Structure 1
Amino acid sequence: MAKAVGLLVALFALWLALSGYFKPLLLTLGVLSCLFTVFLAFRMKLLDDEAVPIQLRPSLLLYWGWLGGEIFKSAVAVCRIILSRDMPVSQNLVAVDCPPKTEMGHVIFANSITLTPGTITVEAGNGKFLVQSLTDEGARPEGFAEMGRRVAHIEGR
């Protein structure tokens, strides 16, 4: 039941964000369409850990806030590199351990690395990610370890 409620809230929040309508009739139709979608998912037995892997928890919202700050800091660092005269770029490929254990944790971790300017997850497999970094500073294992620890915390471990 908690997964159904979490999915309903997430679907309605997405519907509201994408539609932008706040009129009572349209809000009612939005809620009804989300309820119908959750009902269908429930009848089809799709409300499992794969379909609704992460319930809405404060740790997820805190992670998004932290990740936003990291993206901003990385964007500033990449802008400094681009705007400097000598462009101190030293591209690296580094193997990064993946602390999250679930598939969703792997996806969140890999996408978080790729969202951060100056790094891209190139390959995933065997509990490790191959990450390309724009600079030596961006390839430090401490940053990836902190991100992995936070993603593992979201998983509830």
Structure 2
Amino acid sequence: MKYSLILLGLLFASWCVWSGHFDNPFLLSLGVLSSFFCLWLSLRMKIVDEEGTPLELGILPLARYIPYLGMEVVKSNLTVAKIILSRDLPLRRCVVTTKMGPKTELGRVILANSITLTPGTVSICLDDDNISIHALSQVEADEDIAGEMDRKVCELEGAR
């Protein structure tokens, strides 16, 4: 029930942000109706659960993690651009397997997706507590494996 209420609130908030109509009661009622319709469809498809709405993360840790991930994506983009634009193309591809810090399944998936989102690295295998990463250069793999992103995801899931 709580997931349905949260989804309904998020749907209506999203409708309000995208429509920009706050003063017309008729348009607001259409927004409420469309939000309820989308909720009904989601419940009928059985996609409203704790996996689709991870409440255990919290808004504040997520608000700290998203800018960090954005900066990592920008830094990785610059690193990959340097590799591609250099004359000698200094690729040192490697696959590294390391232990993950996150204990929950959601934390592991967030870590794997975060690594894949950063250009030049791809998470290729998750086994129990280990993750295999393919990187364009050893430096990128070392930075991911060094644990900064791993520590940030552990903070995000609350498992320090």
- Hey, what's the Cα distance between the residues in 1 that align with 2:39 and 2:47? 9
Aligned partner of residue 147 in structure 2, secondary structure: helix
Quick one: which of 20, 23, 26 aligns to 1:22? 20
Percent identity between matched residues is: 41
Partners of 1:21 and 1:27 within 8 A in 2 = no
Structure 2 equivalent of residue 86 of structure 1? 88
Any unmatched runs of 5+ in structure 2? none
In the superposition, the TM-score normalised over structure 2's length comes to 0.77
Structure 1 equivalent of residue 101 of structure 2? 99
Aligned partner of residue 51 in structure 1, secondary structure: coil
Quick one: which of 132, 135, 155 aligns to 1:153? 155
Instruction: State the superposition RMSD in angstroms.
Output: 3.0
Partners of 2:93 and 2:137 within 8 A in 1 = yes
Any unmatched runs of 5+ in structure 1? none
In the superposition, the TM-score normalised over structure 1's length comes to 0.79
Change (3 A) 1:154 1:7: farther
Amino acid at match of 2:51: E
Amino acid at match of 1:50: E
Quick one: which of 98, 116, 119 aligns to 2:118? 116
Number of equivalent positions:
155
- Hey, what's the Cα distance between the residues in 2 that align with 1:11 and 1:144? 38
- Hey, what's the Cα distance between the residues in 2 that align with 1:100 and 1:82? 33
Aligned partner of residue 51 in structure 2, secondary structure: coil
Aligned partner of residue 132 in structure 1, secondary structure: strand
